[in-house]
Amino acid sequence: MNELDVLRVFCGPDGHHGNALGVVRDGGAHPGEAARQTLAAELGYSETVFVDDPERGIVDIYTPSARLPFAGHPLVGAAWLLDLEVLQVPAGEVWARHDGEFTWITARPAWVTGRRTQQYEAVAEVEALPAPPPGEGWLYAWAWEDEAAGRVRARAFPRRGDAIAEDEATGAAALLLTGELDRALNITQGAGSQILTAPGRDGMIEVGGRVRFAPPA
C-alpha cells in the first residue's frame, strides 16, 4: 500500500518492543468510516491512523474493530512521524513536543473512556495473567515495581472480541492511571515497552515515549 508507515511506539530503552501502529499518510484515499474500519481490520495493527490534514494535524484513529475519539500511542507515533506540534481528534486538541529521543503528547484523563485499571499486589501476579484474562471490558492490570520511584509494571487487555488479545503499550491507559494516582510514572508494559507520564496544569497529563520505524516483515 502506498503511503503506509509502520511504527513501533513506546519502545524500550534498547529500542525494541513498542506497540505496532499503521499510519496512512493519505487519509483522503480512504474516505468514509466503513472503508477505514475495513482497512484497519485487514492491517490488523493495534491501531491505524488516517492522516486527513497533516498541516493542521487532523487524524482519525481505528482499532481492528472500532473507531476511537482518542488514543495515546497513535498520537505519539503520528506526532513523531510527521513532526507535529498539535493534533486534532474528535476528543479535542492534543499538543505534542519532542524532547531528545522522546515524543510527548498532552491530554485529559476524561478523554479516556471505557477502560478500567486494576491494581495487583505483586509484579509476578501481573506477569502471570493469561492474555486475555477472564472477564469483560478493557482492563489495565498493574502493580508497583518500585512505588517510591514511581515505577509500574503493567499489561493491557482490550477484551473487545477482535484479534488484539493484549496491547503491548497503551498511552491512554497510562494517562488514566496517572490521573488516578496523581503522580509521574515510569511504566514497563507488555514484553518490554516503556511509557513515561507526568501530571501537568489544569488536570492535563503528558505521556511520552520512544518511536521507531518497525523493522521490515
Closest CA to 175 of 134, 115, 215: 115
Is pLDDT of 15 > 60? yes
186 and 141 both lie in a single domain: yes
Cβ pair 23, 49 in contact under 8 A: yes
Q: Does the residue 168 lie in any domain? A: yes
The pLDDT score that the predictor gives to residue 3 is 86
Look-up of cell digits 515497552: 193
Give the pLDDT confidence of 113-165 residue by residue, as tens digits: 999 999 999 999 999 999 999 999 999 999 999 999 999 999 999 999 999 99
Q: Does the residue 217 lie in any domain? A: no
142 and 76 both lie in a single domain: no
Among candidate residues 28, 57, 90, the one where a domain is terminated: 90
Cβ pair 163, 183 in contact under 8 A: no
**Domain at 202, CATH number:** 3.10.310.10
Closest CA to 186 of 95, 102, 68: 102
pTM, full prediction: 0.97
20 and 80 both lie in a single domain: yes
Cβ pair 161, 138 in contact under 8 A: no
Total tally of structural domains belonging to the chain: 2
Q: Does the residue 99 lie in any domain? A: no
CA 143 to chain centre: 19
140 and 200 both lie in a single domain: yes
